[in-house]
Amino acid sequence: MAAVLQKFLKDSGLYVFTTRDFMSRVRGGHNFTLIRFGPEPVLSHSDIMDGIIAFDEDSLVLHSEKLKKDGFLLCDSQYKTEDDRAISLDMLSLAKQIGNARTIGSIATGVILKLFNLQLLNLEDTLRKHIKEQYLEENKKAILTGYNLVENRYTLPAHEAKSQIILSGNQALAFGAIAGGIRFYSAYPMSPSTTILEYLSSKSVDANIVVEQAEDEIAAINMAIGASFAGAPAMTGTSGGGFCLKVEALGLSGMAEIPLVVANIQRPGPATGLPTRTEQSDLKFVISASQGEFPRMVIALRNHSDAFYQTARAFYMAKKYQIPVIILSDQYLADSYASIEPYDMEKVKYIQDIHSKVEYNPLDGEYLRYKITEDGISPLLIPGKTKNFVTADSDEHTERGWITESADVRNQMMDKRFRKLIKLKEELQEPEYIGEDSFETLFLGWGSTYGPISEAVKCLNQESPGTYAALLFGDIYPLPEKLLKEKVSQAKQIINIEQNATGQLAELIREKTSIVCDDSLLKYDGRQISVDEIVSYIRKGVRP
Amino acid sequence: MAAVLQKFLKDSGLYVFTTRDFMSRVRGGHNFTLIRFGPEPVLSHSDIMDGIIAFDEDSLVLHSEKLKKDGFLLCDSQYKTEDDRAISLDMLSLAKQIGNARTIGSIATGVILKLFNLQLLNLEDTLRKHIKEQYLEENKKAILTGYNLVENRYTLPAHEAKSQIILSGNQALAFGAIAGGIRFYSAYPMSPSTTILEYLSSKSVDANIVVEQAEDEIAAINMAIGASFAGAPAMTGTSGGGFCLKVEALGLSGMAEIPLVVANIQRPGPATGLPTRTEQSDLKFVISASQGEFPRMVIALRNHSDAFYQTARAFYMAKKYQIPVIILSDQYLADSYASIEPYDMEKVKYIQDIHSKVEYNPLDGEYLRYKITEDGISPLLIPGKTKNFVTADSDEHTERGWITESADVRNQMMDKRFRKLIKLKEELQEPEYIGEDSFETLFLGWGSTYGPISEAVKCLNQESPGTYAALLFGDIYPLPEKLLKEKVSQAKQIINIEQNATGQLAELIREKTSIVCDDSLLKYDGRQISVDEIVSYIRKGVRP
Amino acid sequence: MSNFSTHETAWCPGCGNFQILDSLKKALEELGKDPYEVLMVAGIGQAAKLPQYISANSFCGLHGRSLPAAVAAKMANEKLTVIVNTGDGDSYGEGGNHFIHNIRRNVNITHFIHDNQIYGLTKGQASPTSMEGMVTDVQVNGNANSPLNPVLLAIACGAGFVARSFSGRKEHLISVMKQAIEYKGYAMIDILQPCVSFNKLNTFAYYNQRVYELEADYDSSNKLSAMEKAMEFGDKIPIGVLYREDKADFHQKNPVLKAGVPLIDIDKSPDMLKNIIKDFY
Amino acid sequence: MSNFSTHETAWCPGCGNFQILDSLKKALEELGKDPYEVLMVAGIGQAAKLPQYISANSFCGLHGRSLPAAVAAKMANEKLTVIVNTGDGDSYGEGGNHFIHNIRRNVNITHFIHDNQIYGLTKGQASPTSMEGMVTDVQVNGNANSPLNPVLLAIACGAGFVARSFSGRKEHLISVMKQAIEYKGYAMIDILQPCVSFNKLNTFAYYNQRVYELEADYDSSNKLSAMEKAMEFGDKIPIGVLYREDKADFHQKNPVLKAGVPLIDIDKSPDMLKNIIKDFY
Ligand SMILES: Cc1ncc(C[n+]2csc(CCOP(=O)(O)OP(=O)(O)O)c2C)c(N)n1
Ligand SMILES: Cc1ncc(C[n+]2csc(CCOP(=O)(O)OP(=O)(O)O)c2C)c(N)n1
Ligand code: SF4
Ligand code: SF4
Ligand SMILES: [Mg+2]
Ligand SMILES: [Mg+2]
């Protein structure tokens, strides 16, 4: 029902942000969805609720503490509750009357829409998008039933977000890959990355992508490398445990300079950990994964907009520098839905350039796949598309790509590969700065804590204007240092806020810049930090 | 022939250090062995040679630049050379007369021994150790032939190292594992780690070890974990590429708190790299390998003494803290032979303690495998050896070891695991300090550059007394900071000397302490840095 | 109540895993196993949750990696009865390499594969045994790969005990489980298991209509005819011990273990280190 | 001089790899292949050095991981003739999982396994095909594992083209290679290859005495009899195409590729992004 509800909300011109909390099992267990909406853009979830829709007894109890005093608790009249915020309705029996007990969700949807006085815009279209044809009629009935069951209660201010799109972080990532020119995707199922595989499969024909479920993660990445070598922009996706198995081939991409995008959708580790929950604890891992040394780039996705643009850009960077580019997302972003500005396709057009440029013919004379060049970038041809032999070798190799043991060639090749970073560093994107010109406390964060932290800055500054600011990293490795140093020199206090136990961003920053954070707000229980938690830590020193 | 020659040298009371330089192929290519010996302990190879024994034309030419002006160049008279340092002898025809052209090596051995005026001590025993019975007689003849072919040339001062042992770094590591109580070793062949597998196989019956060649590295580490869980102290060994495949299970060891020793014998990467050569470029990789966060320990082996004691200690630390302990060695140390003080078995006796302690019966009441304790260490029983159920789970788990999704339990377990580091840090071994009380320039190094760097300090201080010192790390993660901070506060200049391209130790030190090195001497061509190279960099600024 | 009973499960109502769990408890009891000497090993997946629901020692390792851990535990302590329960994806997909090579290693453990022909825990993608053409959220155009035949594969790799059973035939399953556990060497049972949530092709009814027990006069010692039988997987699906051959297991061939003392109990000679160091003088 | 010739090799004199290299060059020439459309793929090992000695495009990836790279390259550009040459350790040991699953995937590539029944490059440890009892520096008490029978395994996994040959029978090898390359789908040849440096059991003479060509009337379309033949590996070793079955390959079943346009050449519709984004409104 969340999918249908969020669509109605969006179509009514509201901004929506939906997160899911589910257990690592197929049925049963306590699972719930949080929908936050309003007339202003919503960047994250909130712990404080205006309303609860409870479909079982547990939900009545488990969350009521977080329900606002004047909130509502919608539930079926079969459940007994003392809570005076409850709206008990005979939803189940009405659903049964309609002919399918499961339409209770649609009845509740109707109720909510009415409570907030929203219109049933595009009723049929919306249902058709999310509900199978055969269940359409009964769900339509159910929504109308719910809608007529209650009176309007809240009035929302005017709002204008009808032309937004709504999608999940993983859908945005996958769509970004399509915009980045992907032609090949291989993966082994693993939460929370599997929905990328599903989405790209569903678009394989429309977007001309070969999507292959591999026998294991090692196969997945080696396939992506093989496809990329043969000219198909390629990505492989997984979560931390699967990333482990890709580590060796990551080095192959680095050594043979084969463009590659690897998406790691983080979840709490170590090992199997908490498979359906969220964490940001793979940063240092992916930065130094694989033996030996080679240039790579790591981009952390901060939100649903990044997920699209930065994934597309990852393909560009991978191809331009002939390196592996790692995309770090996490379960929170991957599985949450947000309504945002439609993507601007003009902004990703430059990516086509790099794909076409690749096929240029080398200068006269011998083709040197690994030519020692000033910027470290060597001519990349596609095998079979030229009267030159294209080579790749996981051993150290000569300019032609043949195995060598020469100390001189080794030095030249190492230096050549690392020279690529000079140019790359020039086009790094600085972290996003949230705040006014002047501030005292600087928060440092990365990835999906973007939403909670930036909302927290705004919220805290409402009470104490000009006191808080944040730098939120997207490009994270190599670390962009310019803005960081500038803002740090201004800060009275620096606090890193991270969804891990060791403060990995803070460690990385210290390693590169000697900047030391004064305090850390770390969370690693598998649940995303909320704006409320940040605010109450700052105001009251209460750690979540 | 190197094995025989080094044994004679040692038995004559000389200190010996032998390194091999071979190409990644089975036959052919240019391969050579460097033997350095003298009346004082020898800690590393040297680039400057007193003599060359050339068995082919290449060797005559390739190394002559590095031969001292008054050195000798022993070769067969079939090769023509203008070099007036040459000692041309009819070795090949003499070998053929003896009946086997291959005995030319033994003839040369005889020649060398005579040149240095050494006696043929334990001639038969020595040969028997290294040469198959059927070839014994002819090699004995050959040595004597060589010995009688030349006159004595050099006189060495008196020396007293007869009671030394001589062994390779990998043998020392494997022997250390035996001293550490190993009962299970599993590995997949990979240079330069394979000789550990070979050595332990050869001792499996004597030392009661199950040694199993696995189908791949993933199997190898999961086997080691399974064996350790069932009560057999276990190790798995590999090089960087194989380590990649073990990364996921490293996290399993961390999560399920199963003691484990992993040996990574480094070689130059990325990917297949330079398979038979040396590098120290996996430090940062192994420190952050695997998703999520968990305590681990990394010990770098500095020399043949460390290789034994620290490997034994690794078993102790792994069991005591129920963590994975990673041993970092490299091809240089693994394949080089050194004569050293015999190991003191008393020094490793404490390890037995910890193995026996493990089997204690838990306090009254329920057995909680993952009991929340103050020091983070929970009672470890062996399944089948107690009337308690022993559990292990790669998911986050309760004290009993059952899967959980509770946020509270998650926090408690993460904190419990990390608390182990408090006690562990107290028993870290500080880096070895080389130098006088006062100095100006401090070298920082780790692992097998121990030999070259410490010799360089001595050599440089001979000219400029009290100017140079070094801190050489063995325990490297968690980083022991005490002595480092102390010495750094005294230093005018800090230079990290590492066998990699990015200065990984320097990065780690900066991350943990904000200490920044003033200069770096980095080498990554696959050849070990020599004392000569360090000295000439310091004296003349020439980078190797 | 069974010796081997424990807490509530997280499986879907109607899942075939319940019968497998019941049968296993029954088999262990009938064999008179002491729960403290049983080690249940699993990877990750729905099937792999089984060790959490049975009172015994348990090792729930990594997805696909149960076999290496299991055989090594057995090498360390042969007194443990080591039983692996895990899924088809885990055993034949991620863990395929361990499957074929542990057959060759022939360690005395038992391997029960809950073969629901689907990835259950990750919500329904094709597994190595999924039928060609099966449509899922990933195989949107139908699974293009031909399914693996795990029993045929096991026989071809030289396994000494290869069986198939069905969660819906508990008596049969219990009997084959007992034989497998008692077999000295690596023994595997591919257990057909309906997944009510994700596999709408290979349902209880599907299996129930098709399975039949091997004829009484079936000769399980003939490898070639066993392979022929193993290939029968369509309108009729034979269940039972398809192939059985007695041969030396890992322990019998290992110089350290063949004496029969568990590895962890062998006393090391106090002079061992002193003797070994002599080599280096 | 051959179109496919290149520089000096690093193999030991007398190694069977030389004949395999020669035969392959011959086969490619006889098939009239354009070297610029040939992609040689390998893992790591002695056999895996072959792409370095032949003029063609080449991809020398990771040990054990040649097949995934090879099939994906073919998926990206079906105009490439993709040939994998790599060792028994690489293909059946480290790469065992890719072997069994790429058979199921049935991409139109050719896989030549230089089966010297040993790990050559790492200096002589037992490989998956090493004989039981073989003594090496690691298997000091003799190899305890029973050897894998790769051709039997391939047939059991459903491979459509399964052959064995011997480096010492060049004419035979060339002929089988040509058939394998022309076969539409995954085709494998297990090529017996003496390793003069490390395998003292399975020498040239050993193979030479034992191999015999399949009878002219041998029926390679019968799976059961093919498996029976495949099991013959002792005093007599049959060489030739043991099993052959024509069936749809990966490309024919893939909705994106079945039209026959190489993936990298398909024009993407300029409105594609605009069409897709509509879903999200
Ligand atoms: C390395 C790794 N890759 C992927 C996963 C995700 N994963 C968990 S269970 C599973 C498949 C489960 O299928 P199966 O083994 O058939 O068991 P079932 O759930 O069907 O019983 C996968 C892919 C994981 N946990 N670890
Ligand atoms: C991940 C990894 N593990 C191990 C190795 C070491 N290694 C290189 S080649 C090889 C085995 C070679 O045997 P095979 O594949 O039979 O080829 P051959 O040399 O016999 O032709 C091994 C184990 C490696 N390069 N990478
Ligand atoms: S998803 Fe399938 S296998 Fe898993 S518990 Fe439910 S029915 Fe059983
Ligand atoms: S080691 Fe063996 S396989 Fe390798 S080149 Fe030499 S003979 Fe050939
Ligand atoms: Mg399954
Ligand atoms: Mg081989």
C152: confidence class by pLDDT, cuts 50, 70, 90: very high
Which helix (H) or strand (E) is D65 found in, with range? none
D54: confidence class by pLDDT, cuts 50, 70, 90: very high
Per-residue tokens: C245: 């051959």
pLDDT of residue B526: 97
B26: confidence class by pLDDT, cuts 50, 70, 90: confident
**Percent of chain D residues past pLDDT 70, beyond the cut:** 98
Left, alpha or beta for B443 (phi > 0: left; psi -120 to 50: alpha)?
beta
Least confident of B79-88, C125-134, C172-181, D12-21: B79-88
End-to-end CA distance of chain C: 64
CB contact under 8 A, C148 and D100: yes
Closest CA to A534 of A465, A410, A444, A431: A444
Quote the CA–CA distance of C71 and C76 in Å, as a whole number.
9
Per DSSP, the three-state class of A260 is strand
Closest CA to A60 of A80, A44, A38: A80
Query: Which positions 47-66 of C are in contact with B (Cβ < 8 Å)?
Result: 49, 52, 55-62, 65
CB-based contact B199:B226 (threshold 8 Å): no
Given a cut of 70, whether residue C2 has pLDDT beyond it is no
pLDDT of residue A361: 54
* D130 near B CB under 8 A: no
D268: confidence class by pLDDT, cuts 50, 70, 90: confident
Contacting subunits of D (3+ beta carbon pairs below 8 A) = A, B, C
Per DSSP, the three-state class of A235 is strand
Structure confidence by residue, pLDDT tens digits, A235-258: 999 999 999 999 999 999 999 999
CB contact under 8 A, A270 and B291: yes
Given a cut of 90, whether residue B444 has pLDDT beyond it is yes
B-chain CB neighbours of C56 within 8 Å are 389
Given a cut of 80, whether residue C5 has pLDDT beyond it is no
Quote the CA–CA distance of C122 and C131 in Å, as a whole number.
18
Which helix (H) or strand (E) is C139 found in, with range? none
Kindly write down the DSSP assignment for every residue of A63-90, as one continuous string: TGGGEEEEEEEEEETTS----TTEEEE-
User: How far is CA D236 from its chain centroid?
Assistant: 22
Q: Which residue has the higher pLDDT, C97 or A11?
A: C97
**Percent of chain D residues past pLDDT 90, beyond the cut:** 95
Nearest-CA distance from A124 to chain B in Å?
A: 39
The mean pLDDT of chain D is 96
Q: Which residue of B has its CA nearest to C63?
A: B394
Per-residue tokens: B541: 């600024």
Least confident of A356-360, B227-231, C251-255: A356-360
Structure confidence by residue, pLDDT tens digits, A516-542: 999 999 999 999 999 999 999 999 999
CB-based contact B428:B478 (threshold 8 Å): yes
pLDDT of residue D3: 65
Quote the CA–CA distance of B213 and B82 in Å, as a whole number.
51
pLDDT of residue C268: 87
Given a cut of 60, whether residue B147 has pLDDT beyond it is yes
Task: Mark the residues whose beta carbon lies below 5 A from ion ligand 6.
Answer: D 87-89, 116, 120
CA of C94 to the centre of ligand 1 (A): 8
Given a cut of 80, whether residue B440 has pLDDT beyond it is yes
Given a cut of 90, whether residue A262 has pLDDT beyond it is yes
Which H, E and C letters describe B245-289, residue by residue? HHHHHHHHHHHHCCCEEEEEEECCCCCCECCCCCCCCCHHHHHHC
Quote the CA–CA distance of D108 and A252 in Å, as a whole number.
24
> What's the CA dihedral at B409, B414, B420, B424 to 10 degrees?
180
Kindly write down the DSSP assignment for every residue of C93-143, as one continuous string: IITHHHHHHHHHHT-S-EEEEEE-SSBTTTTSB--TTSPTT---SSSTT--
D8: confidence class by pLDDT, cuts 50, 70, 90: confident
* A29 near C CB under 8 A: yes
CB contact under 8 A, A210 and D256: yes
The single-letter DSSP state of residue A100 is -
10 Å Cβ neighbour count for C159? 27
Average pLDDT over every residue of A286-290: 98
Closest CA to A127 of A101, A111, A105: A105
10 Å Cβ neighbour count for A254? 24
* D37 near A CB under 8 A: yes
CB neighbour list of residue C232: distance below 8 Å, 6 or more residues apart = C238
pLDDT of residue A423: 97
Closest CA to A194 of A222, A166, A210, A174: A174
Kindly write down the DSSP assignment for every residue of C202-225, as one continuous string: S-HHHHHHHEEEPPTT--TT-HHH
Quote the CA–CA distance of B374 and D261 in Å, as a whole number.
65
B22: confidence class by pLDDT, cuts 50, 70, 90: confident
Given a cut of 90, whether residue D156 has pLDDT beyond it is yes
pLDDT of residue D6: 63
For D117, phi and psi rounded to 5 degrees? 55, 35
Quote the CA–CA distance of A417 and A372 in Å, as a whole number.
9
Q: Which of D46, D113, D117, D125 most suits a substitution to test ligand 4, by most atoms within 8 Å of the C-beta?
A: D46
Residue with tokens 């129920």: B322
pLDDT of residue A25: 75
For A264, phi and psi rounded to 5 degrees? -115, 110
Burial of A437 (0-12, 13-18, 19+ CB in 10 A): exposed
> At residue B11, what is the residue type?
D
CB-based contact B528:B19 (threshold 8 Å): yes
pLDDT of residue A61: 82
CA of C92 to the centre of ligand 1 (A): 11
CB contact under 8 A, C256 and B208: yes
CA distances for A242 relative to A263, B244, C126, angstroms: 11, 12, 18
CB neighbour list of residue B394: distance below 8 Å, 6 or more residues apart = A271, A272, A273, B251, B252, B255, B256, C44, C60, C61, C62
Average pLDDT over every residue of C164-192: 98
Average pLDDT over every residue of B328-338: 98
Least confident of A172-176, A417-421, B68-72, D186-190: B68-72
pLDDT of residue B29: 78
CA of C119 to the centre of ligand 5 (A): 4
Structure confidence by residue, pLDDT tens digits, A50-64: 999 988 888 888 888
Quote the CA–CA distance of D62 and D40 in Å, as a whole number.
14
Which H, E and C letters describe D226-274, residue by residue? HHHHHCCCCCCEEEEEEEECCCCCHHHHCCCCCCCCCHHHCCCCCCHHH
10 Å Cβ neighbour count for B33? 18
Per-residue tokens: A286: 């992916």
Given a cut of 90, whether residue B454 has pLDDT beyond it is yes
Per-residue tokens: D101: 């699953």
* C21 near D CB under 8 A: no
C-chain CB neighbours of A189 within 8 Å are 119, 122, 125, 138
Quote the CA–CA distance of B122 and B140 in Å, as a whole number.
11
pLDDT of residue A66: 87
pLDDT of residue C1: 45
Quote the CA–CA distance of A402 and D35 in Å, as a whole number.
17
Quote the CA–CA distance of A287 and B475 in Å, as a whole number.
23
β partners of residue B36? B17
Average pLDDT over every residue of B518-535: 97
CB-based contact B251:A269 (threshold 8 Å): yes
D1: confidence class by pLDDT, cuts 50, 70, 90: very low
Choose the mutation target among D57, D97, D256 for the interface with A, i.e. most A CBs under 10 Å.
D57
Given a cut of 70, whether residue B67 has pLDDT beyond it is yes
Q: Tell me the ipTM for this assembly.
A: 0.97
A407: confidence class by pLDDT, cuts 50, 70, 90: very high
A358: confidence class by pLDDT, cuts 50, 70, 90: low
Give the closest residue (by CA) to ligand 3 atom 1.
C120
Per-residue tokens: C89: 């994806």
pLDDT of residue A63: 84
Structure confidence by residue, pLDDT tens digits, D160-185: 999 999 999 999 999 999 999 999 99
> At residue B334, what is the residue type?
A
**Percent of chain A residues past pLDDT 70, beyond the cut:** 98
Per DSSP, the three-state class of D89 is helix
B-chain CB neighbours of C274 within 8 Å are 345
Per DSSP, the three-state class of A458 is helix
Ligand whose nearest atom lies closest to the CA of D116: 6
Per-residue tokens: A438: 């002047």
CB-based contact A99:A134 (threshold 8 Å): no
Burial of A202 (0-12, 13-18, 19+ CB in 10 A): middle
Structure confidence by residue, pLDDT tens digits, B232-241: 999 999 999 9
pLDDT of residue C8: 72
Least confident of A445-459, B296-310, D110-124, D264-278: D264-278
Quote the CA–CA distance of B202 and D267 in Å, as a whole number.
61
Q: Which residue of B has its CA nearest to C270?
A: B207
CB-based contact A398:A341 (threshold 8 Å): no
Burial of B525 (0-12, 13-18, 19+ CB in 10 A): buried
CB contact under 8 A, D59 and A229: yes
**Parallel, antiparallel, or unpaired for β C237-244 and C161-166?**
antiparallel
Given a cut of 80, whether residue D229 has pLDDT beyond it is yes
Structure confidence by residue, pLDDT tens digits, A170-225: 999 999 999 999 999 999 999 999 999 999 999 999 999 999 999 999 999 999 99
The mean pLDDT of chain A is 94
Cis peptide before A431 (omega within 30 of 0): no
Cis peptide before A478 (omega within 30 of 0): yes
CB-based contact B524:B501 (threshold 8 Å): yes
Given a cut of 80, whether residue A495 has pLDDT beyond it is yes
β partners of residue B477? B298
Given a cut of 60, whether residue B491 has pLDDT beyond it is yes
Given a cut of 60, whether residue B531 has pLDDT beyond it is yes
Least confident of A355-359, C117-121, D20-24, D170-174: A355-359
CB-based contact B474:B311 (threshold 8 Å): no
C-chain CB neighbours of D232 within 8 Å are none
Quote the CA–CA distance of A237 and A188 in Å, as a whole number.
8
Given a cut of 90, whether residue A492 has pLDDT beyond it is yes
CB neighbour list of residue D161: distance below 8 Å, 6 or more residues apart = D179, D180, D183, D185, D186, D187, D188, D241, D243, D244, D245
Highest mean pLDDT out of A361-375, B11-25, C192-206 = C192-206
pLDDT of residue B358: 57
pLDDT of residue C9: 81
CB-based contact A352:A345 (threshold 8 Å): no
* D1 near A CB under 8 A: no
Q: Is the pTM of this model over 0.90?
A: yes
Average pLDDT over every residue of B303-322: 98
A457: confidence class by pLDDT, cuts 50, 70, 90: very high
CA pseudo-torsion sign B456, B458, B464, B465: positive
C vs D, Cβ pairs < 8 A, gives: 80
CB-based contact A53:A107 (threshold 8 Å): no
C-chain CB neighbours of B167 within 8 Å are 280
Quote the CA–CA distance of B227 and B218 in Å, as a whole number.
14
**Percent of chain B residues past pLDDT 90, beyond the cut:** 81
pLDDT of residue D2: 58
